[in-house]
Structure formats: structure tokens, C-alpha cells
Structure 1
Amino acid sequence: MTTEAADTTEAPAPGDRTPLVELDAVSKYYGNIRALEGVSLEVHAGEISCVLGDNGAGKSTLIKIIAGLHQHDAGTFRIEGEDTRLSSPREALDRGIATVYQDLAVVPLMPVWRNFFLGSEPTKGVGPLKRMDVDVMRRTTHAELLRMGIDLRDVDQPIGTLSGGERQCVAIARAVYFGAKVLVLDEPTAALGVKQSGVVLKYVAAARDAGLGVVLITHNPHHAYLVGNRFVLLKRGTMSGSHARDEITLDELTRQMAGGSELDDLRHELERAPEPDLKEHGDAP
């Protein structure tokens, strides 16, 4: 009688997914200044992780660590489960992390297609006849923008003539085209009106639906709650909260973002004390 060896390989637990990017108790110091202290964040494929905080909360430092501009001083930074210390933004791009900053780093007078391929231009020909393949860049830019739902009639127009929301969407489509796995967005709706903010959030959701892990940096809890799956709140470089979407309501997220108990204390301080009843003391005329 023959016996077969039992298969001892453990099947992965249901829902057990390795994050595309994971920060575990990450800290960053500039001399004696604490920029970040013990911040944790997970970014999963097909999800949007929102980082909320006011100015000075540490959002910019967090972006710089993920984007490879700065290295963390303590804690662990993992990319797809591997402990990592990024040495440059180019290395971050090579590892699939694309960052879209608030200023977008576009050349306003150049056409849309030129900005779409800026720094990664395809070429044709050889030797002294080698030149940019403009036709391919035009066609690809139009097709990729259309795939994201952005129908530009003319990709030859200067990108500076587009609205702020449209420029953000071009940057998002570019990151998707060049193979980003993780998309970090630095306050993409900060300088936009309600309608343009809605357009940008639509394309943020499209990037999520394309399978990217998105990190949305914002100070607007309403925008975050519209698209977010996870929320990390920063305050003076430390985490003041971390919640999954089903663990918190918009009202509570807004309250925590606004200061929570500190806001309640301020409200009590600002309430006007009741004026004394002068008639009761016989001081009325």
C-alpha cells in the first residue's frame, strides 16, 4: 500500500493581502525637530488610503518618504512586503510609486502630449536621424486620456490652457500609463472649486478601479470620505487616528479632523457668558 505525502503548504488566509506599500511606526527627524513620529499606513491595490491633516501635520514629510526624496529614521518601510529604503525618486518610480505634487511639475507652454511624455519620450530613427516620435506621442496621449474618460479635442493645445482639474487628470492618466502600482496625490483638490474637485475625484476613483493603490493627501474630510477606504489622521507629526471606512462616519471624521475635543473646548471658551439681569439687582433705570 502506497501512501502519498501530505501537502503541508498552508493556504493563504481569506483576505490576507500584502500591501503594495506599508509604513510601520515610521519616524523622521530633522535635527531636534520631530517631523514624523510612529506613523503607520497601509496601501492596498484597488483601494484609496487617505491621509488627513492641517498644515504642519507632517503630510509633506510622509509624501517625501514614500516618493524617495527622504529616508525614514526609524520604523519600517515596505514595498510589497520587502523592507525598503528608497534612495531617490527615480528608484521609487522604478518600484512602481508615482507621486503627483500639487504644482504638477508641468511646462505650461508645452502641448499636452509633450507634458504627458516629458522625460520619457519615444524616439524613431537611428544615429543623426534619431528624433522624437511625435505621431506616436500624440496618438497615445489621446488614447490614454480617453481610456480614463478624459476627451480632449486637441492634445496639441498648451497644457497651461487646461483647467486645474484637467491638468490633475492628465497627471493621473500619465502615471497609470507608465505602469504605476501606487499613486500618491498631494492635495489634488486644494486649489479647485466644487465642480473641478468632483472631476478630479472621479479620476482618482478611476485609478483605484484600474487596480492602483492610491494615497490621497488632503485636508478636506468630505473629499476623502467620498472615495476613501482607509483614513489616517495626522497632527503635529503623530497619528491622531486610523480608521477603515466602515468604522467611522463622515461627521466623526470631520470632528476629528477639526480637532475633536479641542474644538469642543474652544467652543465653550467662545460662548458668551450670560449677561447679568440688572433689574434683579435694582440697577435698572
Structure 2
Amino acid sequence: MSDSPLLEIRDVSKTFGSVISLSGVSTTVRAGQVTCVLGDNGAGKSTLIKILSGVHQPDGGELLIDGNPVRLGSPREALDAGIATVYQDLAMVPLMAIWRNFFLGSEPTKGWGPFRRFDRATAIETTRRELADMGIDIRDPDQPVGTLSGGERQSVAIARAVHFGARLLILDEPTSALGVKQAGVVLRYIARARDRGLGVVFITHNPHHAYPVGDRFLLLNRGKSLGDFAKSELSLAELTRMMAGGAELDQLAHELDRNPAGKATS
């Protein structure tokens, strides 16, 4: 049995004109593990997502799936390779039922030729079963997806990707607009996808969301890697400090101190 990672990113670079969006970025994603990609706005996270999902091709470096070099020329090629991307906007229609959104663009049919029609019963039953298998408790598959909470919508999107055969799940800031409780809902389903053997790339700027579910951490800053670490190699405090800027944070704390060193207190 091969020990190759499900996905390996080797020295990937991407420029847009004179702007260096990514430079020499490397990491791995293994089946049954979560690789967290962390960075602030402008760090290069979106560019990395688009390279992995086939929207952009890297200018340098390479991607390997199961140890074999690949070039993903389009989102369709990425999907065919088992890579599913769940974007922040989720590509859902709020007024349509959950089951309609679950099969949006891939509707099951029955019959043949001119008698071919949408198989509503199969779609509803499959949606109910797949959500239950992921531990997602939806009251009624007929309810509009817009009535779900943010965390529930993210969970439906994750279950949909799993159902359609994703081996690698890329999640674009799934907890960014959620409160503590709803973020916890999404993290729980990320862990369930991981436990079902998927490789997960979790894009986030929040180390407190990343650390509980992450197995590996890639930190980006202005397109460059600050390091690629296994969980055993750093603590949450160290991850948070690296994200915050370390020395810059110390300098800011000094500037904001109400009682600088040496000043007498009353």
C-alpha cells in the first residue's frame, strides 16, 4: 500500500503581472487528515484555493495526487480527480428546498428518452440518508435552504461534496461569518468528513478554529510560507503567536501599554 499523500503541493508559485501571489509554497494533505491553511487577507489563500480547484494553473512547482504529478486545467478536471471546493457563498439557492440544492446540477432522473423526468422521491430520500450518515439532523428536506443557519448550510454543502465522491475537500473560510456555536457545528462536520477518510484543506484566518481539527498547518504571509508544521510541532499558543506576527505584536503591546516601563504609578 502506497504511503504517498493524497495531495502534495511542491514549491508552487503564482504571479499576476508584477504581483507575486504565491512563492515556493509546499504542504501535504493525507487521507483522513485535515491540513489547515492560515493567513490574513492578502496572504495568498484564495490563490492557493483556485490552483487546487483548477481555476488557475501554477507558474512554478507542481501538484501531485497519490504521488503522481497532475495539471488541473479546469474545475471539471479537479472534480474528476476527486477534489471538491466549498466556497463561502456555497453556490446554493436560498428559496429552493434542501434536497433541490443537494442535487443542484446533478439531478437524478428516471424514465427514458422523452419520458425522462426528475426523480423527486430518490432525491429526497438520498438527501435525508446522506445528511443522516454525516450526523446532520435536518427537520424537513423540503424546507428552503435559506431557513437554515449558516453552520447548517455549510454542513449540507460538506455532505453534498462527500456524496458526489470527493476524496479531497477544500473549505474556503467556512467559519468566518459564524458565531461560536455555529462555528462549532461546522468544525464537528469537518471532523466527520476526516473520519470518513477524506483529506480536508481547511482555509481560515482563525487559529482557534484550526487547531482543534487540524493535523497539519501551513502559514502564509503575503504569498510566502511561514512554515509547514505537523500538530506535534507547535502548540495553539505558538500558532496564534505566529499568526499575530510575533515581534510585531510585542511592539504593538509596548506602544499600547498605558504604563510604559519606568513610569511611576500613583
Instruction: Identify the TM-score tier after normalising by the shorter chain.
Output: over 0.9
Match of 2:111 in 1: 125
Displacement of 1:271: 3.3
Equivalent residue for 1:176, pick from 156, 162, 167: 162
Aligned AA (1:194): V
2:255 equivalent to 1:255: no
Equivalent residue for 2:153, pick from 152, 158, 167: 167
2:33 equivalent to 1:47: yes
Superposed, which structure 2 residues align to 1:1-285 within 5 Å?
Answer: 17-272=3-258, 273=260
Aligned AA (1:122): P
1:96-135 deviation digits (Å, cap 9, x = unpaired): 0000001101011111001101111111111221111010
How many aligned positions are there? Answer: 263
Aligned AA (2:201): V
Displacement of 1:233: 0.4
Distance 2:147 2:69 in 1: 43
Distance 1:47 1:189 in 2: 18
Displacement of 1:17: 1.6
1:42-81 deviation digits (Å, cap 9, x = unpaired): 0000000000000110000000000000000001111111
Between 54-63 and 256-265, report the one with greater CA deviation: 256-265
Q: Where does structure 2 lack aligned partners over 5 or more consecutive residues?
A: none
Distance 1:163 1:17 in 2: 39
Between 213-222 and 122-131, report the one with greater CA deviation: 122-131
* 2:88 counterpart SS class: coil
Aligned AA (1:137): A
* 1:19 counterpart SS class: coil
Q: Where does structure 1 lack aligned partners over 5 or more consecutive residues?
A: 1-11, 278-285
Displacement of 1:266: 2.3
Aligned AA (1:175): A
Aligned AA (1:57): A
Overall identity of the aligned pairs, in %? 65
Q: CA RMSD in A?
A: 1.4
Aligned AA (2:147): T
Aligned AA (2:227): G
* 1:231 counterpart SS class: strand
* 2:12 counterpart SS class: strand
